[in-house]
Amino acid sequence: MDKHAQAERVLNILRQRYPNPRPHLNAASPWQLLAATMLSAQCTDARVNAVSPALFARWPGPEETAWAELDELEEAVRSTGFFRMKARSLLHAARRIMDVYGGHVPRSLAELVTLPGVARKTANVVLWGAFGINEGLAVDTHVARISYRLGLTDAQDADKIEQDLLALFPRAEWGNVNHRMVSFGRDVCQARAPRCAQCELLAACPRRDVDKSRKIR
């Protein structure tokens, strides 16, 4: 299979299905998108969107969050899972943003990944969603699963998958490829029960591991 031709085919189909891709997390500022993305680890976006209004009403930005009491922050994010770790990461990320970056969420991947609790995926989501910067392509479980099923990558490690996809898709599309693949993964190419009969890519899909849930490292 010619992976570049397949990537072009995938991109065209996803553009038609999702002409106006949008972020899946609700946020009114770069900090709020960063915080919501951190909370989304091992948690659904729907749950994060249910929790974030009260969280951001009380601690709307890094300045307020940096002064939060840890136990109160833990309680506010408890239902997102791993709440102690997430609350601590939010607190220390906010403090670093205040101390090192003058209260502003940094605008580069190299700087973002110095924040506690922030790895490449979160940094890529924030750069595109908050600043319109394509420095990488966020790889979550949907992107990993779909990319493998469609024959765009043979990797299981998220960083390796990202590098494969960066070589296949135009840079201007990286952020929206993530948004579109996430939507496609939820609507059609689901982990355990993919709706192949509803898929415009069925004729070109090798359906690799279509009966299995792919995990990324």
Domain that holds residue 166: 3-21+137-204
Degrees, nearest 5: CA angle 49-174-31: 40
Residue 198 domain-assigned? Answer: yes
Contact 137, 123 (CB under 8 A): no
Residue 195 domain-assigned? Answer: yes
Contact 4, 168 (CB under 8 A): yes
Q: DSSP states of 16-53 as a string?
A: HH-SS---SS--SSHHHHHHHHHHTTTS-HHHHHHHHH
**Which residue shows structure tokens 């201007």?**
172
For the entire predicted model, the pTM comes to 0.93
Residue 188 domain-assigned? Answer: yes
Q: Is the pLDDT of residue 216 over 90?
A: no
Give the CATH number for residue 34. Answer: 1.10.340.30
Tell me, what's the pLDDT at 217?
A: 45
| Number of domains making up the chain | 2
Mean pLDDT on 27-52: 97
Question: Which of 131, 149, 164 delimits the end of a domain?
Answer: 131
**In which region does residue 157 sit, left (phi positive, over 0), alpha (psi from -120 to 50) or beta (all else)?**
beta
For residues 106 and 70, give the distance between their C-alpha atoms in angstroms, rounded to a whole number.
23
Say what percent of the chain tops pLDDT 90: 92
The alpha-helical segments, DSSP class H, found in the chain are 3-17, 30-39, 45-58, 62-66, 70-77, 83-100, 109-112, 120-131, 141-149, 158-168, 174-187
Q: Is the pLDDT of residue 67 over 70?
A: yes
Say what percent of the chain tops pLDDT 70: 97
For residues 214 and 212, give the distance between their C-alpha atoms in angstroms, rounded to a whole number.
6
